Amino acid sequence: MGEAVKDYQREEVIQAWYLDDNYEDGQKLPHHKNPKEFVSLDKLAELGVLSWRLDADNYETDEELKYIRESRGYSYMDICEVCPEKLPNYEAKVKMFFEEHLHIDEEIRYCLAGSGYFDVRDLNDVWIRVWVKRGGMIVFPAGIYHRFTVDSNNYMKAMRLFVGGPVWTPYNRPHDHLPARKAYMDTFVKVDMGTVP
């Protein structure tokens, strides 16, 4: 299958755009700028954000998922459902997930059902909203500031993958002193952290 076809198929399950930053009507809406400013998956990759379209119907036997897990060392896996019926203290948790934070390890999410928004900062510190739908797998590098919310459907079933055991510790912004953040900045932003305001 050609790369152009694969990119098109990924864009069916992962779309990105610049946010309008107006959340008066809630964090679970698309919040497109006017006019809309879409962001390519290549631009996300420049930020270290990787993505795939996988077969959510056959995730237990999917050879491409198996290859990704083996080649990237994702040895631990679990499945979580973010919805009012399955997640205790749902509204408080969704609000907590929406706090801007980073992790010292990659964050890997594979959407098996439903959909949700992952917001990341571009190189100018502007929010990009990444809509991940069923079949979309996304990897956020260690040290990138991000946040998550379900969309207005209030449901996402996701596979969480980790290198080694699960690590869920969020470091809410600002945590620019962490080695993971410094490594991210050195790799993707290439500025001296001492000069960043």
Q: In the prediction, which pLDDT does 48 show?
A: 97
**What predicted TM-score, i.e. pTM, was given to this entire model?**
0.91
Q: CA 116 to CA 156: how far, in whole Å?
A: 6
Beta bridge partners of 97: none
Taken in order of first residue, the domains within the chain and their CATH numbers are 1-187 (2.60.120.10)
Q: How many CA atoms does the CB half-sphere of 60 hold within 13 Å?
A: 1
Binding residues for Ni(2+): 101, 103, 107, 146
Binding residues: 101, 103, 107, 146
Mean pLDDT of the chain: 92
Q: CA 144 to CA 86: how far, in whole Å?
A: 28
Structure tokens at 115: 């959909």
Q: What is the pLDDT of residues 148-170, one digit of tens each?
A: 999 999 999 999 999 998 988 99
Q: In the prediction, which pLDDT does 2 show?
A: 59
Start-to-end CA span in the chain (Å): 46
Binding residues for Fe(2+): 101, 103, 107, 146
Q: CA 54 to CA 57: how far, in whole Å?
A: 9
Q: How confident is the model at residue 26 (pLDDT cuts 50, 70, 90)?
A: confident
Q: What is the pLDDT of residues 89-132, one digit of tens each?
A: 999 999 999 999 999 999 999 999 999 999 999 999 999 999 99
Structure tokens at 96: 């907590």
